[in-house]
Structure 1
Amino acid sequence: MKIGKQSTPYQAICTSNPETIIVRGHDLVDTLIGSISFTDYTWLLVAGSLPDEKQRRMLDATLVAIAEHGLVPSVQVARMTLAASPEAVQGAVAAGLLGCGSVILGASETSGAFFRDIREEAQASGRSVEAAAEKLLRGYREQKKPVPGYGHPLHKGHDPRAERLLAIARELDVAGIHCEIAKTVERLIPEIIGRPLVMNVSSAIPCVLLDAGYPLLALKGVPLLARTAGLIGHLLEEQTRPIGFVMSAAAASAIEYDGPAPGGFVANEN
Structure 2
Amino acid sequence: MRIGSAVEAKSGISASNPEMIVVRGYDLSKGLVGHISFTDHVWLLITGTAPEASQRRVLDATLVAIAEHGLVPSVVAARMTLAAAPEALQGAVAAGILGCGSVILGSSQAAGDFFHEIAEAAKASGDMDGTIRETVTRYRAAKRAIPGYGHPLHKGGDARAARLFEVAAEAGLSGEHIKVARAVEALLPELIGKALALNVSAAIPAVLLDAGFPVKALKGIPILARTASLVGHLLEEQLRPIGFIMAHEASSAITYDGTSPEGFVANEG
Q: CA RMSD in A?
A: 0.9
For 1:38, the equivalent position in structure 2 comes to: 38
- Kindly report which structure 2 residues correspond to 1:104-183, keeping only aligned pairs within 5 A, or say none: 104-124=104-124, 126-183=125-182
| Paired position in structure 2 for 1:80 | 80
Q: In structure 2, how many angstroms separate the alpha carbons of the residues matched to 1:3 and 1:245?
A: 44
Residue in structure 2 matched with residue 245 of structure 1 by the alignment? 244
State the shift of 1:55 in Å: 0.3
Unaligned runs of 5+ in 1: none
Q: 1:95-115 CA distances to partner (integer Å, 9 max, x unpaired)? A: 000011110000111111101
- 1:75 corresponds to which letter in structure 2? V
Contact 2:252–2:267 (8 Å) recurs in 1: no
Alignment of 1:200-215 (within 5 A): 200-215=199-214
What's the counterpart of residue 24 of structure 2? 24
AA aligned opposite 2:113: A
What amino acid is the match of 1:78? Answer: A
Aligned length: 269
Give the aligned partner of residue 221 of structure 2. Answer: 222
The amino acid across from 2:65 in the alignment is A
Q: Does 1:235 align with 2:229?
A: no
Q: Offset of 1:144 from its aligned partner? A: 2.3
Q: Partner of 1:15: helix, strand, or coil? A: strand
Shift of 1:256: 0.8
* CA distance in structure 1 between the aligned counterparts of 2:265 and 2:115, rounded to whole angstroms: 54
State the Cα deviation string for residues 70-102 of structure 1 (Å, max 9, x = none).
000010000000000000000000000001111
Q: Which amino acid aligns with 2:117?
A: D
Q: Deviations over 1:186-206 (max 9, x none)?
A: 000111011111110001000
Distance 1:142 1:196 in 2: 19
* Deviation of 1:269 (Å): 5.3
- Structure 2 counterpart of 1:132, one-letter code: T
Q: Which amino acid aligns with 2:139?
A: Y
User: Where in structure 2 are there 5+ consecutive unaligned residues?
Assistant: none
**CA distance in structure 2 between the partners assigned to 1:2 and 1:254 by the alignment:** 51
Q: Distance in 2 between matches of 1:121 and 1:159?
A: 27
Question: Cα distance 1:264–1:88, how it changes in 2: closer, same or farther (>3 A)?
Answer: same
Are the counterparts in 2 of residues 16 and 22 from structure 1 also a CA contact under 8 Å?
A: yes
